[in-house]
């Protein structure tokens, strides 16, 4: 259980980052003919996108602390699995994305794997 206390903050920060970037990049209307620099200026002047990248950076620093406490062979798969679960659920709840029966089955298998992987 202690493993999850280390991994969950990192997973939440990364999932937040992914969900916000998807949300904002989908909702900011840009001229398709805008050049790359103009698009980057619009994206990086959006406070939500900036917060998403700051969360990802903070998650990276938090991950440095996690790997000092856990074996990488345990921490990394749990981190990836939990992050995957959070992004799937967040994209359904906050972005209105569909979840198919096959995706739900995959989420169940990942949850089982993460649970088993966290056991000693």
Model confidence pLDDT, tens digit, residues 49-66: 999 999 999 999 999 999
User: With 90 as the cut, is the pLDDT of residue 119 above it?
Assistant: no
Segment 17-31 shows an average pLDDT of: 87
Q: Which residue has 């993460």 as its token pair? A: 114
Alpha-carbon gap, residue 36 to 33, rounded angstroms = 9
Q: How many residues does the chain have?
A: 120
Segment 70-74 shows an average pLDDT of: 86
Domain that holds residue 98: 2-117
User: With 70 as the cut, is the pLDDT of residue 1 above it?
Assistant: no
Our count of domains for the chain comes to 1
Task: Report the predicted TM-score, pTM, of the whole model to 2 decimal places.
Answer: 0.85
Residue 95 φ then ψ, to 5°? -105, -5
Q: How many CB atoms lie within 10 A of CB 69?
A: 12
User: With 90 as the cut, is the pLDDT of residue 111 above it?
Assistant: no
């Amino acid at each position: 259980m202690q493993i999850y206390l280390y991994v969950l903050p990192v997973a939440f920060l990364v999932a937040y980052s992914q969900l916000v970037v998807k949300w904002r990049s989908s909702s900011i209307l840009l001229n398709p003919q805008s050049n790359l620099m103009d698009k980057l200026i619009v994206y990086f002047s959006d406070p939500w996108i900036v917060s998403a990248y700051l969360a990802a950076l903070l998650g990276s620093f938090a991950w440095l602390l996690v790997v000092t406490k856990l074996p990488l062979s345990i921490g990394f798969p749990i981190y990836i699995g939990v992050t995957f679960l959070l992004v799937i659920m967040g994209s359904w709840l906050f972005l209105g994305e569909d979840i198919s029966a096959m995706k739900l089955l995959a989420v169940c298998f990942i949850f089982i794997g993460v649970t088993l992987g966290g056991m000693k």
